[in-house]
Amino acid sequence: MVIADRLGRRLVRSVTALAETADRLSRGELTARVNPGGPPEIHNVGSELNRLADRIDELLNSARAEAADLAHRLRTPLTALRLDIGGLRDPVESERVLASLQDLSAQVDEIIRTARRPGRTGAVAMADLAAIARERLHFWAALAEDTGRPLTGNIPSKAVLVRIGAEDLAATFDVLLDNAFRHTPDSAAVRLVVEDNGVAWVEDAGTGIGPTAGTPGTTGLGLDIARRTVEAVRGSLTIGSSELGGAKVVLTIERLNRETAQRNSSPA
């Protein structure tokens, strides 16, 4: 009986370790590996799981490199287009097309930066949703003041730690705020709201952009990139109507509990 209990506990520990490692990998911790142990069958499963994780890491690195290379190649035709635009006779039309081309160039640059960003290493990506929201609100307040646009925020004073990198989160807020500024008149109010459960949104007093905005082939690349960014960390981006009368773009990102946050912030 004693031997059976020991074998049972050993088996449970080995299987639990496999499950925990698989869960960490599914959450984007691509450096997670299991220390194979237990009976031969469990040991083999652990070794194969590690081999699979190594292969996934290799494929993702290769995909990022290819995406960056393809986006980089777009710069040459974009430069040629910029030169052609300079030859347009209508200065108003030239300015309008050039502005659109500059937007496209900025999106290509963002794709390159995103593709070349190294994969997460070590602990889970983590950011303070409230702090990043306050930072981006302060940044956009200058433009709002210059254009006479009402821009307000409702953000908790305490930290709201969520499972996403700070750089990705800041870029996502910038996309949402830029979208609100770009598609509403200067007189339309914009509001950024953060809740302590990991939900945040940007809403405006414009005319709305519809529930399909931001999907491929609709309103633009910016919202689509933002959507993929939050979905990569098991979050979501949804678009609906605001009480202000315009659009409301909602981010839902997993809130980290205290234990996970403390483990993430501890030195390796």
Q: What is the mean pLDDT of each run of 10 residues along the chain (268 residues)?
A: 57 75 74 79 80 78 67 67 71 75 70 57 73 94 88 93 88 89 88 93 80 42 79 88 90 79 49
Q: Who's near 230: CB < 8 A, 6+ residues apart?
A: 164, 172, 236, 237, 251, 252, 253
Q: What is the pLDDT of residue 1?
A: 56
3-state DSSP assignment of residue 68: helix
153-167 pLDDT, tens digit each? 999 999 999 988 888
Look-up of token digits 């699979």 = 52
Taking the C-alpha atoms of residue 100 and residue 248, their distance in angstroms, rounded to an integer, is 24
Question: CA 218, 164, 67, 101 torsion: positive or negative?
Answer: positive
109-137 pLDDT, tens digit each? 666 666 655 544 444 678 999 999 999 99
Taking the C-alpha atoms of residue 24 and residue 196, their distance in angstroms, rounded to an integer, is 24
